[in-house]
Amino acid sequence: MNTSSAYKRIVIRNIVEEAQNVKSFQLEYADGSPLKYEPGQFITFIFPRNGQDEGDRRSYSFSTTPGIDATPAITIKRIENGEYSRWFIDNAKPGNTLLTIGTSGHFTLPENLQEYKKLIFFAAGSGITPIYSLLKHVLVTYPHLPVVLIYSGRQADDTVFYEELTQLQKQYSDQLTIEYLFSTSRNLSRARLGKLLLEALLKQYSGTDHRNTLFYLCGPYEYMRMATIVLQTEGVPADNIRKENFATRRPVQKNEPPDKNKHAVELRLNGNVYSFETEFPETILQHAKKLNIPIPYSCESGQCGTCAASCIKGKVWMWNNEVLVDSEVEKGRTLTCTGYPVGGDVILEIK
């Protein structure tokens, strides 16, 4: 099977320089069909190597918001050792065409958002990208929901979307509060987000009962790890913390499934049904790739959620999950990239 049939062609229509080494790329499908996405999601590109369909995969978050911004756009920061971020910043031109598996991601707003009384966003550096998309949607769609943005950067001059955020703060002054933490600040107590400052900000903006506050985090790995630990230590329920990981670190599999036997997998995908058997050490995704099944995926390590499926029969054990919250797992959501069928055969559905 030629898996390239599962890909679509994307055209870069315009490029906007946001800050030094940061640009936004306006996109549209080459065939003119609408590019659909939700606030907070990302798009995954395929970069073929040596004529092979598989190639490398990279995902970039949308900074635009459906229904607010006319043209979908991703915002990318140049990473010194990042092969494809360097290409986007240094070489990409309007008219360039890319291959994509489409949009995905779980860094989105819950259906029951009206049940929460406050939203607090934590962003560091280019981690502002999906949060900026979410922020605009909330301000327009939920005018009575208080929003706090705690944004860490180096200084105002090279802070992505600084002018736009300042304008939003003026426009929605009764709803939006922004705390900028600049590492070049002379006030060292508010230069970087650390444990003590986070505890103080949490008390200031969320009080002591955090059950009705929803938290979104996006930034470097150590930043996210620290913030998650502090929030949970201070009593924030795990399901109230949503994370988007931009880190390139790949966790090492340390645990093994309780059941290493061979089990059958029925995979329902795009109106097709695929059946195969797999067993440890091959995950469901790894075996599906061997069979050229066009299953969507990106990170292959339980960090992005592109490969998420609904388990409608049986049980899947995951060696890593940094995306799905407990309530989603309880409803049968699982990751095929780190998942093994355990205790019997499974039926999975990917929509």
Which residues are registered as beta bridge partners of 8?
100
Residue with tokens 């290409």: 87
Per-residue pLDDT tens over the stretch 135-155? 999 999 999 999 999 999 999
Q: What is the pLDDT of residue 3?
A: 45
Q: What is the pLDDT of residue 253?
A: 87
SS3 338: coil
Residue with tokens 């006030």: 187
223 neighbors 304 (Cβ within 8 angstroms): no
What average pLDDT does the chain have? 93
Structure token pair of residue 12 = 């870069």
Residue with tokens 């645990």: 255
For the segment 285-307, the average pLDDT, to the nearest whole number, is 92
Q: How far apart are CA 271 and CA 351, in angstroms?
A: 9
Structure token pair of residue 261 = 């036997």
Three-state secondary structure string covering 172-191: CCCCEEEEEEECCCCCHHHC
Confidence of residue 227 (pLDDT cuts 50, 70, 90): very high
Q: How far apart are CA 33 and CA 2, in angstroms?
A: 22
Q: What is the pLDDT of residue 15?
A: 98
Structure token pair of residue 201 = 């900000």
Residue with tokens 């890593």: 320
SS3 300: coil
For the segment 329-351, the average pLDDT, to the nearest whole number, is 96
* Full set of structural domains in the chain with CATH: 3-104 (2.40.30.10), 113-245 (3.40.50.80), 263-350 (3.10.20.30)
